[in-house]
């Protein structure tokens, strides 16, 4: 089973040994960040630095002329990835025989929310989520689609993985995050992720809902959640709190917005990229879920993209809804950094279980962040899988 590892350009640029280190592990494909959110990352083997602080969401290459004169445009990285860091890293990896695919984060950008507050998701209480662009806004959608096309089709890339290509919501590890004091559960997360910006209010109205009444209903529904009441699991919990009709109407609106964004982003990438360019989406098989792994309809998305990358850190079960829905890639994404909850010692066994649930490939998060011990276990697992 083919395995690809995630990587940042700063893991490679300035470290001439990085490509050979990866091939020595048995890694022949890398998903290399081209557009990424703010982060703080260790680089435990780099000869010049140990901690990289990416202060804001940025493209890791020089943005092109398509952005000239536009209000919404990507920021270039600072000293953590200057110039064409992506291009330099991609060239070095390709020279070592490693197949490079772009890693593009879309609807997740605190910088966009800070610079353009009107782009952000606004919850039923009027609180703004600056890290979460509202994908229902026309200008924001145009920005995200163009970003997908430009950041994906970088010189030397043979494919792309689009992350956050859908709704983002409350569940986000923001800087010094302190939101876990009340267990919201799946239903509470959904309600707190409903957007009430002008575009979404118009969308709800078009679906036959009064936006003000809906916001009031969300606030009322959340009251028992704030007091610690239990909830029914899954969508049944949303229906119980909000009412089945209201819940269905919000979901129909949001599902349509997400589906059409995903279709537009994939089409834009294909128009910008060479033939046989592979387009995958980081995806959750539950359509109303928000986040980096955007909720999708499995049957629909495998008719749009070339495949999906599915989080499997909690087990391979999320793969099952994608199984048997065509010949697309179904990549099981496993964390392999022990200090971040991964278990690289189980990678070979996890891969076997993933294959039983329909996985055709593996993704390893993250070759640059992992310790030497973690990487040794990864190399052992990949050798067993061969």
Give the DSSP H/E element, type plus range, for residue 213: helix 211-226
Mean pLDDT to the nearest integer, 285-312: 96
pLDDT at 25: 96
pLDDT at 135: 98
C-alpha torsion sign, points 229, 234, 240, 246: positive
pLDDT at 160: 98
CA dist., res. 125 & res. 190, Å (int) = 14
C-alpha torsion sign, points 365, 283, 64, 4: positive
Mean pLDDT to the nearest integer, 277-285: 98
pLDDT at 254: 97
Which residues contact residue 86 at a Cβ distance below 8 angstroms, ignoring those fewer than 6 apart? 9, 32, 33, 34, 59, 60, 61, 102, 154
pLDDT at 319: 98
What CATH number does domain 2-180+257-385 carry, 3.40.50.2000, 3.40.630.10, 3.90.580.10, 3.20.20.80? 3.20.20.80
Quote the pTM value. Answer: 0.97
pLDDT in tens, 180-218: 788 889 999 999 999 999 999 999 999 999 999 999 999
């Amino acid at each position: 089973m083919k395995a690809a590892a995630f990587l940042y350009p700063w893991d490679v640029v300035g470290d001439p040994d990085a490509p050979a280190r990866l091939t020595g592990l048995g890694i022949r494909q890398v998903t290399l960040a081209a557009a990424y959110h703010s982060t703080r990352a260790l680089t435990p083997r780099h000869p010049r630095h140990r901690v990289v602080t990416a202060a804001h969401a940025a493209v890791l290459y020089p943005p092109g002329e398509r952005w000239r004169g536009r209000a919404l445009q990507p920021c270039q990285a600072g000293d953590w990835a200057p110039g064409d860091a992506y291009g330099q890293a991609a060239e070095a990896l390709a020279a070592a025989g490693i197949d490079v695919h772009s890693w593009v984060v879309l609807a997740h950008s605190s910088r966009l929310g800070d610079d353009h507050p009107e782009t952000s998701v606004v919850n039923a209480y009027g609180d703004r989520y600056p890290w979460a662009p509202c994908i229902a806004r026309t200008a924001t959608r145009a920005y995200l689609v163009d970003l997908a096309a430009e950041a994906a089709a970088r010189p030397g890339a043979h494919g792309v993985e689009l992350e956050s290509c859908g709704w983002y919501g409350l569940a986000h590890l923001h800087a010094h995050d302190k939101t876990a004091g009340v267990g919201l559960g799946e239903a509470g997360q959904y309600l707190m992720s409903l957007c009430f910006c002008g575009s979404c209010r118009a969308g709800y109205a078009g679906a036959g809902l009064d936006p003000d009444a809906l916001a009031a209903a969300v606030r009322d529904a959340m009251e028992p959640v704030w007091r610690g009441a239990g909830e029914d699991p899954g969508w049944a919990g949303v229906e119980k709190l909000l009412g089945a009709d209201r819940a269905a109407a919000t979901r129909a609106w949001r599902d349509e917005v997400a589906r059409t964004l995903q279709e537009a982003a994939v089409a834009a990438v294909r128009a910008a990229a060479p033939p046989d360019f592979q387009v995958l989406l980081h995806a959750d098989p539950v359509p109303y879920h928000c986040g980096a792994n955007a909720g999708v309809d499995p049957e629909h998305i495998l008719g749009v993209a070339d495949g999906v990358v599915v989080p499997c850190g909690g087990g391979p079960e999320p793969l099952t809804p994608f199984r048997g829905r065509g010949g697309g890639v179904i990549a099981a994404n496993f964390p392999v950094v022990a200090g971040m909850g991964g278990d690289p010692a189980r990678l070979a066994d996890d891969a076997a279980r993933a294959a039983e649930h329909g996985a055709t490939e593996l993704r390893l998060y993250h070759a640059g962040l992992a310790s030497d011990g973690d990487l040794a276990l990864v190399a052992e697992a990949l050798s067993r899988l061969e």
